[in-house]
Structure 1
Amino acid sequence: ITPDELGSDWQEGKVHLPLETHLNGALFGAPNAGVDMTFNFFELIAHAAKTRQLGAGCIIGSGTVSNYDRSAGSSCLAERRMLEIIESGQATTPFLCFGDTVSIAMQDRNGMSLFGTILQKVTQQDASQTK
């Protein structure tokens, strides 16, 4: 997707829409991707280009999506567990287990998917396939 396709949701080099993360079908979080983003995409691309050649089709990731206001939840299991430890001294959210599924998606204001859904299932590696 290009910035012009995002319209007013593209501001200051950031996408200002919720990133929805589901764990086993239940909403885990939907923080706004642009609100508290430390470095915008212009800065991320410039930094990456200092040490490698970038060309058409390169994918630049922004890292964990979260907000200072935690009411929208999280998009990162490790971050949620860390915040629980800070708040109460122990993590209450369990680690992922075999069979768990995680999906990540972002939709525009009309409900149209921006990049499809990333869907992953935790599976156990077949020991016979290891070297």
Structure 2
Amino acid sequence: MNLHVSWNGKWFGHPHGSEMNFSFGELIAHAAKTRKLSAGTIIGSGTVSNAARAIGSACIAERRVIEMIDNGAASTRFMNFGDRVSMEARFQEDAPGPFGVIDQQVWRAGSDQRATRDK
């Protein structure tokens, strides 16, 4: 399964799960053995990354560390208020995933950004 990640509508990475120690299916199966899972349950896997750096990243911190190793300094900034990140797990490159898209925007705590969130 591939993870497609975009940041402010631009490609950030599409790492695949083949190099993970435990597949997404194994993580879900283990979680289901130890607790009741219901519709809408979110299961985190940690960073999904691959040895091939051209695949991109699923985590800003990971991307910054790779830049520090390769270039001596990070060039990717951290997220700012108003930034949006979208993630989707897919079985095939051009097919929708089984879980849908997770799409989130960074808001300042206590702010009313309802008027700007869909821009």
Same topology, TM > 0.5: yes
Q: Which amino acid aligns with 1:56?
A: L
Counterpart CA distance in 2 for 1:102 and 1:69 is 22
Q: Which has the higher contact order (CA 8 A, sep 6+)?
A: 2
- Counterpart in the other structure of 2:115: none
Q: Which amino acid aligns with 2:56?
A: G
Task: Give the match's secondary structure for 2:18.
Answer: coil
- Counterpart in the other structure of 2:6: 22
Is residue 70 of structure 2 the alignment partner of residue 92 of structure 1? no
Tell me the TM-score normalised to structure 1 length: 0.69
Q: Which amino acid aligns with 1:54?
A: R
Change (3 A) 1:70 1:111: same
Is residue 66 of structure 2 the alignment partner of residue 83 of structure 1? yes
1:68 equivalent among 37, 51, 57: 51
Change (3 A) 1:90 1:67: same
The answer to whether the 8 Å contact 1:44/1:62 transfers is no
How large is the RMSD of aligned CA atoms in angstroms? 2.4
| Greater C-alpha radius of gyration | 1
Q: Which runs of 5+ in 2 are unaligned?
A: 112-119
Moved beyond 3 Å, runs of 4+: 40-49
The answer to whether the 8 Å contact 2:15/2:57 transfers is yes
- Counterpart in the other structure of 1:122: 106
State the Cα distance separating 1:47 from its structure 2 match: 8.7
Q: Which runs of 5+ in 1 are unaligned?
A: 1-16
Counterpart CA distance in 2 for 1:108 and 1:48 is 21
